Amino acid sequence: MSRAERSETALSRGGAKWGSTGREEAETALHDVMAQCMSEQTADSSQQLRESQRALKRTRQHLQLQEARSRQLVTACAAKLRDQQAEAARAEALKERQFQRILQQLAVLQSKLKREQKLIYQEMSEREQLSQQQARELERLRRTNRRLLGKVTRLSAPCARCGTKPDSGISDCDEPDELAPKQAKTGGSPDSALASAESSDTASPPTAERGIMKTTREQRKAPPKTVTFSLSDEPREREKSAPRRPPLPLKPRLILPPSAHVNGATFGQPSIVSTISQLLGVELEAAAGAAGGRHDPGAALRHTRGPGELPGGGARQPALRG
């Protein structure tokens, strides 16, 4: 039961008991009770107000703390953001510098490549010019070799007037006409001399210079004409005493390829130039002997080429018979 209800109950009891006088006392008691109730309510309200103020104060403190924390967080985030922005700016600047450096290196590399390309083009043009010059030189050497080969072929062919071979060193075409009767008187029968010369030619081992001209001599045989010889008495007596043998069948001969030069001597097949010089030397010596006196082709050959030697001075290599 509340205070108001208690006060009303007391008033009703007092009114019924005392009448009018008692009513005044009841009103006074009621006022006292109401004042007491109001004082109690005021005290309760004051206490609630104080509690509310304390709660508000705590709330304000909490809000201030939260605000401070928020400000700290905002400051930290702002600092972190500034750091990130600075880091991004530094990374961007670094990338820009690296990009510029790469561009510079690419420009330098491009210039180097252009220079190398120019040098390569220049070297290729020089090599092409050199190859063209070498091709022209080879063509010129081929023409020269063809001319020399034609000359050697003409020199190695048998004489049309006397039928002798140039590499034998015996030819009366180079001698004067007044020496021909003397050589005809001193020489033996031409048929026996020709047969012995042919047999010695086929039986003896092939030399380098004779092996070169073998194909030409096989194709063009000497005609059976009268040939005068100017040989010494001893070789002529040996030819007379030697029995006549039938000529051996001619076979193709394979000459070994030329080897290296050792002390100025060439071993193997002589060159075209050495063959031409040998033939020209024999002709010049024959002409000099005919002009000075009686000509001895055998001596000219012995003076020009020793036994078992090539025109260059090297040893004779054995030829392979096919």
* pLDDT at 38 (0 to 100): 84
Domain boundary residue, one of 79, 112, 144: 79
Element (H, E) at 321: strand 320-321
Residue 30: closest CA among 13, 8, 15: 8
75 is a domain residue: yes
Assess whether 67 and 201 both reside in one domain: no
Which residue type is seen at 321?
R
Residues 37, 161, single domain; the answer is no
| pLDDT at residue 316 in the model | 47
pLDDT at 37: 84
Which two three-digit tokens encode residue 102? 């790469």
Check residue 120 and give its pLDDT. Answer: 94
State which residues form the domain around 14.
3-79
Do residues 166 and 279 share a domain?
yes
Q: Is 253 helix (H, G, I), strand (E, B) or coil?
A: strand
Residue 205 is assigned to a structural domain of this protein: yes
23-31 long-range Cβ contacts below 8 angstroms, 24+ apart? none
Tens digits of per-residue pLDDT, 170-180?
Answer: 444 444 444 44
What stretches in the chain show pLDDT beneath 50? 168-218, 222, 226-232, 253-268, 294-322
d(CA 201, CA 216): 15
* In-domain check, residue 31: yes
Please identify, among 13, 45, 79, the residue that sits at the C-terminal boundary of a domain: 79
Which pLDDT score, from 0 to 100, does residue 254 have? Answer: 46
* Predicted local distance difference test score (pLDDT) of residue 185: 46
Q: Which pLDDT score, from 0 to 100, does residue 17 have?
A: 52
Does 63 lie in the same domain as 161? no
Q: What pLDDT shows up at residue 208?
A: 41
Q: How far apart are CA 137 and CA 156, in angstroms?
A: 28
For residue 206, give every residue at least 6 positions away whose Cβ sits within 8 Å of its Cβ, in sequence order, or none: 214, 253, 255, 319
Neighbours of 164 (CB within 10 A): 22
Quickly count: other Cβ atoms within 10 Å of residue 91's Cβ: 10
pLDDT, mean over the chain: 68
Element (H, E) at 265: strand 265-266
Among 29, 64, 79, identify where a domain stops: 79
The reported pTM is 0.29
Token pair in block for residue 318: 């054995």
Which amino acid is present at 265?
Answer: A
Please tell me the predicted confidence (pLDDT) of residue 15. 52
Residue 308 CB partners (closer than 8 Å, separation 6+) = 315, 316
Q: Which pLDDT belongs to residue 118?
A: 92
Output the pLDDT for position 203.
42
Quick: pLDDT tens for 275-284.
777 777 777 7
Report the 10 Å Cβ neighbour count for 295. 23
Number of domains in the chain: 2
Closest CA to 183 of 172, 198, 168, 194: 172
The residue assigned the tokens 């605000």 is 67
Contact status, residue 319 vs residue 206, Cβ threshold 8 Å: yes
Q: Tell me whether residue 190 is in a domain.
A: yes
Q: For residue 144, is it within any domain?
A: no
